[in-house]
Amino acid sequence: DVKVTQSSRYLVKRTGEKVFLECVQDMDHENMFWYRQDPGLGLRLIYFSYDVKMKEKGDIPEGYSVSREKKERFSLILESASTNQTSMYLCAAKRIFQPQHFGDGTRLSIL
Amino acid sequence: GNSVTQMEGPVTLSEEAFLTINCTYTATGYPSLFWYVQYPGEGLQLLLKATKADDKGSNKGFEATYRKETTSFHLEKGSVQVSDSAVYFCALSDLGGLSGGYQKVTFGTGTKLQVIP
């Protein structure tokens, strides 16, 4: 079974910090995604990647960037964290024509 | 663009009650449809899927039928258990951007189900 691992379950950072969220998948899937989940808003796509070094903006990319230097790893970067980026962040991996596989999420608090 | 609309929750049911969570979608082309479940403190897990019209996805007693004529994919279960308490997400995946090897997935806002003994 596909395993998607997010580096932290809970993270607390301060405003203005640069924050890195890491995601690793073990099944050589081409597509990887970063979402944030907020009450009443469901999942909103931040960025996705369909290959190494390839990235595309999702619906809410502002304030975020991503890095995919290796196929198995997809990093989400908050360049200068702000309180409105407090949220649950979910990483997913997917093979074409197959469903997504999700990590357990990182609950990020920005103080 | 694509969209998924699902009934707002929370939905509270007694154990062994019948469950329906409505989901309708808007999409161009022929999307695949999914139900995901999120248990407290966890990420999303695929519950079931359907890839073409009239397909029925089923898993763990849950069922949903891909209805193209009504653009719906309602989730049903005949007898819910306390362990089914979770948030349920309806989603669709289309073939847009296929040239880039990418399929965009659109999620509904989620429906929280609480089952009481």
Residue numbers of chain A with a pLDDT score lower than 50:
none
In this prediction, residue B87 carries a pLDDT of: 95
User: Which residues in chain B are closer than 8 Å to A40, comparing Cβ atoms?
Assistant: 109
pLDDT in tens, B20-77: 999 999 988 788 999 999 998 888 999 999 988 999 999 999 999 999 999 999 999 9
User: Which residues in chain A are closer than 8 Å to B42, comparing Cβ atoms?
Assistant: 104-105
Is A100 within 8 Å of B105 when comparing Cβ atoms? yes
In this prediction, residue A98 carries a pLDDT of: 81
pLDDT over threshold 70, residue B102: no
In this prediction, residue B93 carries a pLDDT of: 87
Give the closest residue to A90 by CA, choosing from A27, A30, A48. A48
In this prediction, residue A68 carries a pLDDT of: 95
Is B89 within 8 Å of A43 when comparing Cβ atoms? yes
Is A42 within 8 Å of B110 when comparing Cβ atoms? yes
Greatest pairwise CA separation for chain A in angstroms: 40
Q: Give the number of other Cβ atoms within 10 Å of residue A46's Cβ.
A: 23
Backbone angles phi, psi at B98, to 5 degrees: -60, -30
In this prediction, residue B81 carries a pLDDT of: 97
Measured CA to CA, the distance from residue B27 to residue A48 in angstroms comes to: 20
